[in-house]
Structure 1
Amino acid sequence: MNAHFGTPTNPAAVDRIPGGSSSGSAAAVAAGLVDFSVGTDTGGSVRAPASFCGLWTLRPSHGRVSLDGCMELAGSFDTFGVFARDPETLISALGVVLGEDAVTLPQEPRLLAPADMVARLGPEPRAVYDATFDKFSGEPVDVYPDGGADALYDAFRFLQAADAKRAVIPFIQTSGMPLAAGLDERAAFAATMTDEEEARANAVRAPFREAMDALLGKDGVLLAPAVHDAPFRLDAGRDVFDGFRHQAMRLLCVAGMSGLPQVVFPAGTVDGAPYGLSLIGPRGSDLSLVRLAARLFGAGAQPSAGLAAVTAA
């Protein structure tokens, strides 16, 4: 919902929003105008559009792809992303920029079902989640730190704002540029950040990253929701916009705060609109993670009998 150029059309659901700040790139791929496109993901700006437009994407391990020459928003979260309509194209494009994985997932990884993330889904998204993942017998785990999703999201908001205060808020303030709905409030919030608030948020992020690394090890994969719902309608009110973003971010911030790779793929429809799911893998397993998702959830994919039954016990 862009203050400068308007809102791109979501080709998969023309009455719905197309997603976050990389939605133009997603719309071009979903419309068949290009085979793939690039975007950036700080809080979810490739992952949400992919879910909303029925596409494949990857948020890489943080720092895996150089952002030299890219305008910084929040450097401790900013990542490069690619959209594609199929996993084969995504893998080909990512192969150009990622190089070799530091971690290769085994043929039958440990599959983990993040119960506290799944609990944030309503009945229809939960039905898609269950239909997609129940056959894999993932072991239930909890991923949020003490204080739950709210604590993790609050820490993310403060850290993103502190990064933005250094990188872009001076330009926003001096240029007088117009801001889209929601960005005005976030810019004002970022301008107020203090060193003490940033330190408290980092005290949440550091142990969370360690806990996630320990949970996944070199062979664990989370069967995770990407966002909590299908895209809302273009004519929805501001209250819907604000509420939706905050709910979605409580899921999206898991990969952001941990710095782990997350691949999103089309999984079904909710309220007649696309709805994607995801896999979150060990740090450095990016291409291996996308290949796993392609094997399990690509067109005509059938899991092996061993993988369908594997648990994390």
Structure 2
Amino acid sequence: MTDVIAAPYVPWLPTMPYRPEADGPLSGIRLAVKDLFDVDGLPTGAGNPTWLATHAPATRDAAAVAALLSAGARLAGKTHTDEMAYSLFGTNAHYGSPENPAAPGHLTGGSSNGTAAAVASGSAELGLGTDTGGSVRIPAGWCGLYGLRPSHARVSRDGVVALCGSFDAPGLLTADLGLLRTAAGVLLRGGVDSTPVRGLLAPPDLWELAGPEVRAALAPAVDRLRAVLPVDGKPLFDAAAPDYRFGYAVRTGWEFWQEHGDWVRAENPVFGPGVGERVQVASTRTAEQLAAADEQIRAVRDTMARVLTGAVLVIPTAPQPAPLRGADTAPLRAPILGLTGIASVAGLPALSVPGARVGGLPVGLCLVGAPGTDEYLLELAEVLR
């Protein structure tokens, strides 16, 4: 399951169907779409050649694609993704890794890597990706972009290849906050939380997951936020912190196998290193493991519901800047999920904002709010422009 068939990296599917442009708030904006979303007339490859070969071209647009095109966006292309979105680093054993325009020679990050690379290079102004465990937020941080993971279920997942429906969230990437606010206004539906925000949380137990150089570089951005809202520096969790990384891994694997296990058994697809191992483990998950995982997930959701009433969590987007291409990324997976996993398992909106540079490489600052505070996070980010 981990053997690799070499193939060149292709950043765009070559033939785009003709689309008359609509009038709307996104008129003239070029849209790059992650290749998990259906686009009428094009295949959806999900980053895996066997998936591409065993699925017919889409006969309609995914709901999020349709909404953005109806608002005037112009389809620039579909971008490659990590296989089945089951990775965090922007590497694909079949198609390679896109260049990071903001950090040449370094990884782009996240399974929405091709979308981030397209936006960071100027090939598109707006990118549509998905974020399950950080795959919009991580490439946003590593490519110097804004990246929004919306509140769970505020953006339709219809027409999107699933990784884990409990955590999957279609999200947006841009280099411009104003454009992000406009595009979010097109996609977000219902469920607005207008509870006044009276403070920020910067818990040391999460900040310590990032390297000292990242913490120091982001301190001025936190100070700018501190000028408008008080910052509480108490730990988020006590000594009995829930194991949300375990909860994330088990439920993601369980749902992946429920959704795609029949296809894996029937087609015996080739997966690259890392992804293949996760798929293999997913096939062995038990109901007992799932129950234990869900207990940890409920504990996180209960904690976040309590602490985020009238507050916003402020944390580093990632523990370090983008690694070099070819670097061993395995040790980074746990600290990344330590930072990104809370929003994922609790269904929270999270906005990665360009925060600083470390050694010339971009690093992001992430704002995490209660469900339905997406619009407030976008407003708060104006302080950091």
TM over 0.5: yes
Q: Which residue does the alignment assign to 1:199?
A: 291
Shift of 1:152: 1.7
Q: Choose the corresponding residue for 2:273, options 155, 161, 181.
A: 181
Unaligned residue ranges in structure 1 (runs of 5+)? 299-313
Give me the identity figure in percent: 35
Q: Which residue does the alignment assign to 1:230?
A: 321
Residues 72-221 of structure 1: matches in 2 within 5 Å?
72-99=162-189, 102-104=192-194, 106=196, 109-135=198-224, 136=226, 137-144=230-237, 147-148=240-241, 151-217=243-309, 219-221=310-312
> Are 1:17 and 2:107 counterparts?
yes
Q: Cα RMSD over matched residues? A: 1.6
SS of the residue corresponding to residue 222 of structure 1 reads strand
SS of the residue corresponding to residue 33 of structure 1 reads coil
Letter matched to residue 229 of structure 1: Q
Contact 1:60/1:81, CA 8 A, preserved across alignment: yes
**Separation in structure 1 between the aligned mates of residue 329 and residue 376 of structure 2, nearest angstrom:** 35
**Separation in structure 2 between the aligned mates of residue 264 and residue 35 of structure 1, nearest angstrom:** 17
Contact 2:128/2:171, CA 8 A, preserved across alignment: yes
Residues 24-35 of structure 1: matches in 2 within 5 Å?
24-35=114-125
Cα 1:14–1:181 shift into 2, 3 Å: farther
Contact 1:101/1:286, CA 8 A, preserved across alignment: no
**Separation in structure 1 between the aligned mates of residue 114 and residue 209 of structure 2, nearest angstrom:** 28
Letter matched to residue 359 of structure 2: D
Q: Which runs of 4+ in 1 moved over 6 A?
A: none
**Separation in structure 2 between the aligned mates of residue 60 and residue 227 of structure 1, nearest angstrom:** 18
Q: Choose the corresponding residue for 1:281, options 338, 363, 369.
A: 369
Letter matched to residue 271 of structure 1: G
Contact 2:154/2:191, CA 8 A, preserved across alignment: no
Q: Deviations over 1:267-291 (max 9, x none)?
A: 1112321110111111111122112
More helix by share: 1
Contact 1:152/1:204, CA 8 A, preserved across alignment: yes
TM-score between both structures, scaled by the size of structure 1? 0.88
Q: Which has the larger radius of gyration?
A: 2
Letter matched to residue 263 of structure 2: F
Residues 247-258 of structure 1: matches in 2 within 5 Å?
247-258=335-346
Shift of 1:146: 5.2
> Are 1:259 and 2:352 counterparts?
no
Aligned length: 291
TM-score between both structures, scaled by the size of structure 2? 0.72
Cα 1:225–1:178 shift into 2, 3 Å: same
Unaligned residue ranges in structure 2 (runs of 5+)? 1-90
Q: Deviations over 1:105-158 (max 9, x none)?
A: 64x631111221011121101102222213514112333465447x22112111
**Separation in structure 1 between the aligned mates of residue 265 and residue 217 of structure 2, nearest angstrom:** 43
SS of the residue corresponding to residue 233 of structure 2 reads strand
Contact 1:105/1:289, CA 8 A, preserved across alignment: no
Which structure ranks higher in relative contact order (CA pairs < 8 Å, sequence separation ≥ 6)?
1
Q: Which residue does the alignment assign to 1:290?
A: 378
**Separation in structure 2 between the aligned mates of residue 188 and residue 147 of structure 1, nearest angstrom:** 30
